[in-house]
Amino acid sequence: IEEILLEGPAGVKVVPASSGVEMMANLPERERRRLIIKLGELSNMADVMIIDTAAGISHNVLAFASAADMIIIMTTPDPAAITDAYATIKVLSRRKKGPFMLIVNMAADESQAREVALSLILVVRRFLELELNYIGFIPFDPFVSKALKGQVPLVLKYPGAPASRHIMAIASRIYSILGSTKRTCHMDFFEKISLSLERSLGSEEEE
């Protein structure tokens, strides 16, 4: 599994979405257990592990959310995106009661971001009886597309760009929150994912 690990800048290591954890739901139990052990060994090299899940609600997304120390919901001011964010929180809340964090991406300004955040916070509080914690926004920034075209991290190529400064501020808040809470060891994290997948797949077979 070491062969699928990609080295990024500043000590960041990446396991591509097409391999590793995304394979779990498609593997027999014995193979899944072996993969969990290997992923646990790799993840012990990291201070923080981030799982970027696919859009929508799948067995994998539910499994990752159930095991995570923190769930970060990202939306944009687009009404359809806000609706999707609420639907995602609603489904995830059946497995886990939080903490749920919210980031508003591609906002025109702070006022728009806060308006989006407040509307979602109030709806989640009223209908799901959960607290959604707003931790910041990322403004629409043309430097993002420039960094994408150059295939370089935005915060390294354009550290002074508005989006870069907001990303760094959000990262600092997240790290501070994680530092003040009890965190799951990485091996336990993958064990939880495996158990969650087994429950989901078992329920599907019974149906």
Query: What would the mean pLDDT of 54-59 be, rounded to a whole number?
Result: 69
CA geometry: angle 198, 203, 204, nearest 5 deg = 100
Cα 73 from Cα 66, distance rounded (Å) = 14
The CATH class of the 70-183 domain is alpha beta
pLDDT value at residue 83: 95
pLDDT value at residue 24: 56
Tens digits of residue pLDDT in 101-155: 999 999 999 999 999 999 999 999 999 999 999 999 999 999 999 999 999 999 9
Determine phi and psi for 133, rounding to 5 degrees. Answer: -100, 115
pLDDT band at 1 (very low <50, low <70, confident <90, very high): low
pLDDT band at 172 (very low <50, low <70, confident <90, very high): very high
Tell which wins on pLDDT, 65 or 101.
101
pLDDT value at residue 25: 53
Tell which wins on pLDDT, 114 or 62.
114
- Cβ-based neighbours of 11, under 8 Å, separated by 6 or more: none
pLDDT value at residue 51: 81
Query: What would the mean pLDDT of 19-27 be, rounded to a whole number?
Result: 54
DSSP state of 76: -
Tens digits of residue pLDDT in 145-163: 999 999 999 999 999 999 9
Q: Measured on CA atoms in the order 141, 179, 57, 98, is the torsion positive or negative?
A: negative
> The whole model's pTM is what?
0.82
Query: What are the extents of the domains in the chain?
Result: 1-68+185-207, 70-183
Average pLDDT, the chain: 83
pLDDT value at residue 69: 83
Cα 36 from Cα 67, distance rounded (Å) = 13
